[in-house]
Amino acid sequence: MLVLPDQHVPLQDQAAERAILAYAFDERWDHCVLLGDVLDFDVCSSHNEGKPRLVEGQRIRDQFDAGNAYLDRLLKAVRDSRAANNTTRRKSL
């Protein structure tokens, strides 16, 4: 089971994301669990209340788009891992 907490997309650490995706591909996973805070949502966070310059020009739609792109990359890594591992296992039999 691959368990990932606190990704905070689109503010995630890019090097950490690359490492996670590589690890997700290298192993075979039956389940992938995202514990929470997948999206950062700083654009509508109460932490930024009264601080309009922190979110100026940002749109919540952009956060959803970034989150969807991240989930697509993660799902591809996990699915490709399963396909590659299944092929390797069949060849070794």
40: nearest Cα among 5, 12, 2, 59: 12
* For range 16-29, the mean pLDDT: 89
Lookup: tokens for 15: 């090097």
Q: What is the pLDDT of residue 6?
A: 92
Question: 3-class SS at 13?
Answer: coil
Q: What is the pLDDT of residues 37-91, one digit of tens each?
A: 899 887 777 777 888 777 778 788 999 999 999 999 999 888 877 776 655 544 5
Q: What is the pLDDT of residue 59?
A: 85
